[in-house]
Structure 1
Amino acid sequence: MFESLVVVLGVALAAQLSPGPDMMLIFRHTTTSLRAGMACILGICLGFTVHVTLSVAGLAVIIRTSPLLFNTIRYTGAAYILYVGIRCLTGNSGLTFDANQKSSAPFGQAFRDGLFCNLLNPKVTLFVLSVFSQLLAPETPTAIRALFGLALIVEAIVVWTLFSMLLDRPAFRTRYERFQNPISRGCGVVLCGLAVLMVAG
């Protein structure tokens, strides 16, 4: 179980480090003020909690009612993780700091931005379902799935908070802008490799 948890957290970390809607929003709010960035992260993590909860509950129902559907989700999930990896390899992250953007959003607005950006993104649920269906056996108790889900939520809070705090430092921000594409490509290699291993396994 420990090995599966490490892989789940590793896949999630690679996805978090690759530029996407959540990261772009955190970047935009944090570069105006750390407070706005933290409010945005709070909203994103609340939305992510909803996705994880739905994924854990939904997958439990699917396993009980249709093993065929579970296997379909499993292979579709591997294909989706491969797709995300390819996008990381071929895309341009395009996160840049606008020095002229001085005013920060109110706490409530930054929170709502983060919440709805994550909550209304169906790809988040698809990603969580993909990871769970690949790395957790059908007979895994729901309580263990819930524990894995909680670990994902805690990881998201820690990773995004550290990222925002570092991004608030001009020196880190400058270096991140310079190396964000190599970071994204590295994450793409990890995700593509894991997708291939998932299908092979």
Structure 2
Amino acid sequence: MKHKKSEVTRAKIVSAARSLFLEKGIDKTSVAEICRISGVSNGALFHQFKVKEDIAFAVFSEVRVEFWDRVISAMVVHDDPHDGIEAAVRASFAFQREEPGAAAFMSDVNASEWIARYADDTKPFYDIGVERGLAWAVPHVQAGRIPAVSPDAFIALVAGAPQWIGRVIRIGLAGSTLDSVADDLALCVRRAFTIR
């Protein structure tokens, strides 16, 4: 019973923090606001999480898993690897268009100094995404339909570039729209994985 109550308390904190972080960002959200929105006392919050970054990492983990599930799911439904790769690029852009708070939050966390402290905790959900992607890609590589590249290079092209471009557009440094760049980049990435 006590364990269940602890899980419920933790879920309330993460849910409240998620809505605040995605709307306002981590720096503009106070622990007091998280407590007020979640209905959890300050003591109960710090019983679950030692510092605010622990809460931010819990939210980041949820959002990142949702992002990767969306990108990989869009890719793996295609038998043609080039259609799958293009769909993954478009899914990365679609996530940013449809979930702007989540996209901004992921970008901010990825650029933070504190996230390096959570590298070991990040690895398991990163590895799950890589394994899912490899399970789809390896047969295509073995059949000579797409070139062999490292998972990190693949991720950089399919999801990293869209996230970077999305951030540049979001902060007003680019005049393009997500949709116009999605079309251009999806075609470029498709060509990059075409064996001639």
Considering only CA atoms, is the larger Rg found in Structure 1 or Structure 2? 2
Q: What is the TM-score normalised by the length of structure 1?
A: 0.29
